[in-house]
Amino acid sequence: MTYGSEGVRVTVVMPTYNEAANLPRMAEAVLALPLPGLHLKIVDDSSPDGTGRIAEELAEKYGIDGPRMSVLHRTEKDGLGRAYVAGMSAALAEGADYVVQMDADGSHPVEAVPRMLQAALDEGVGLVIGSRYVEGGALDEEWGRHRVLLSRFANRYARTVLGTDIRDITAGFNLWSAATLRDVDLAALDSAGYSFQVELKYKAVRAGHRAVEVPIRFEERMEGTSKMTLRTQLESAVVPIRLRLKHR
């Protein structure tokens, strides 16, 4: 089977903020995938480094034979979760069958997208997680011991509080079916920051959608610095407790 040859429409939603150095390489890699029905949607939060302008130039470059890439410009930077809600909602409105979440910094392996789509089609599931913490998954050796321990603790903490068996519930590299995203009701999600990843998975599983995890190697970002702040870390600690209390 050739991925996407049967009319499966896949939209990769990629939020950006100051990713001018990484975006051209990422766009080239994503749009080179063997998925005829693939579209790349950039959601830019008015990046001061000109990422939005570069995204528009790339959309024009890759759109010669049809609209393969589009850009959604937001006027404020109010969290990764809000950016994803905007991008995913637009993808659903445009008729996507599957939506992929992917970082713009090169940490997620682009070549894993077809494998994730195939898993969704073969298993008939609404969520496929690019997982660092199942057999075969790995973290870049450049990650320091402190970051590795923090990441593993965050996953174990969220899994324990929420009572889920998803090994990488904080993962940001995910493929969703359109039906799953509609059932979750994106507009009703509370999380603005990175904890959006946990809330969306938790609500999808509670709505009866099955998830599978495929192993990936998580790389260090290509250029720039992490957007993780103390505020987002605190939100990530509070959200699992709030979700558990809300849905008891």
Tokens (6 digits) for 43:
């959601």
Number of domains in the chain: 1
138 part of a folded domain: yes
Tokens (6 digits) for 3:
């991925």
Burial status of residue 89 (CB atoms within 10 A of its CB: 0-12, 13-18, 19 or more): middle
Q: Which region among 25-39, 52-66, 115-129 has the lowest average model confidence (pLDDT)?
A: 52-66
Q: What type of residue sits at position 50?
A: G
Tokens (6 digits) for 112:
């894993």
* Phi, psi for residue 153 in degrees, rounded to 5: -65, -45
Distance CA 195, CA 108 (A): 18
Band of pLDDT at residue 158, cut at 50, 70 and 90 = confident
**H or E element, residue 200:** helix 196-206
Residue 49, pLDDT above cutoff 50: yes
Tell me what pLDDT residue 222 has. Answer: 55
78 part of a folded domain: yes
What residue numbers bound the domain in which 228 lies?
10-246
Longest dimension (CA), the chain: 52
Residue 14, pLDDT above cutoff 50: yes
153 part of a folded domain: yes
Those residues whose C-beta lies under 8 Å from the C-beta of residue 25, and which sit 6 or more positions away, are: 106, 222
CATH code for the domain in which residue 119 is found:
3.90.550.10
Residue 165, pLDDT above cutoff 60: yes
Tell me what pLDDT residue 110 has. Answer: 97
Contacts within 8 Å (CB) and 24+ apart, 79-83: 79/191, 79/192, 79/193, 79/196, 79/232, 80/15, 80/192, 80/193, 80/194, 80/196, 80/227, 80/232, 81/189, 81/191, 81/192, 81/193, 81/194, 81/195, 81/196, 81/199, 82/192, 83/15, 83/43, 83/45
4 part of a folded domain: no
Query: Could you tell me which residue, 67 or 29, shows the higher pLDDT?
Result: 29
* Phi, psi for residue 30 in degrees, rounded to 5: -65, -45
Tokens (6 digits) for 159:
């899994």
Whether 15 and 87 have beta carbons less than 8 Å apart is answered as yes
5 part of a folded domain: no
Tokens (6 digits) for 14:
């990629």
Interval 216-242: pLDDT, tens: 999 875 554 554 444 555 455 565 556
